[in-house]
Amino acid sequence: MSGPGNLGPDAALAAAVVGALQAAPAVAALVAQRVHADPPRNPTYPCVIVSRQESRPFGPDDVAASGGLEHLLTLTCASRFGGPEEARAVTAAVRAALHNAGPAVAGRRLVTLRVTYADVFRAADRELSLGVLRVRAVTEAI
């Protein structure tokens, strides 16, 4: 079993993002501690979930060979408020908390963290409103 210091690069970045969001006062005011690296079976709304994550080697061959990674994360902000207002507020708070942030990533050096895209919309069931953010990060092995 891996401890927190033995996380792989993707799990370490997801944990750092979740921790940063849980520590951000504006995010906590809206979703409390309901920020999840893995989607819960029956989520309590509103919440934020790391819904997709991918990574690939990054940089010149010598940097990529030494562990440089580009990570692309999709965060989903979900609300059952009855309209998009709450999803918009959560999405804005998440964007403000993460864009150019520098959370500590276990076993990695965070080079950059940027929010590159955000969208808010009603889900097909018309009860759920969703905010989707895409986050790009670059990390290097320590």
Q: What pLDDT does 58 receive?
A: 87
Q: What pLDDT does 126 receive?
A: 86
Confidence class of residue 3 from pLDDT cuts 50, 70 and 90? Answer: very low
**In angstroms, what CA-CA distances link 40 with 35, 43, 51, 96, 108?**
10, 5, 11, 24, 27
Cross-strand pairs, 72: 54, 136
Is the model's pLDDT at 7 over the cut of 90? no
Round to whole Å and give the CA distance between 14 and 38.
9
What is this structure's pTM?
A: 0.90
Round to whole Å and give the CA distance between 108 and 18.
16
pLDDT digits (tens, 9 = 90+) for 93-123: 999 999 999 999 999 999 999 999 999 999 9
Strands of 35-36's sheet, edge to edge?
35-36, 47-57, 69-79, 129-141, 108-122
Structure tokens at 25: 């006062």
In terms of Cα–Cα distance, which of 122, 43, 119 is closest to 83?
122
More confident residue, 35 or 124: 35
Confidence class of residue 82 from pLDDT cuts 50, 70 and 90? Answer: confident
Round to whole Å and give the CA distance between 9 and 77.
23
Task: Give me the numbers of helices (H) and strands (E) for the chain, helices first please.
Answer: 4, 5
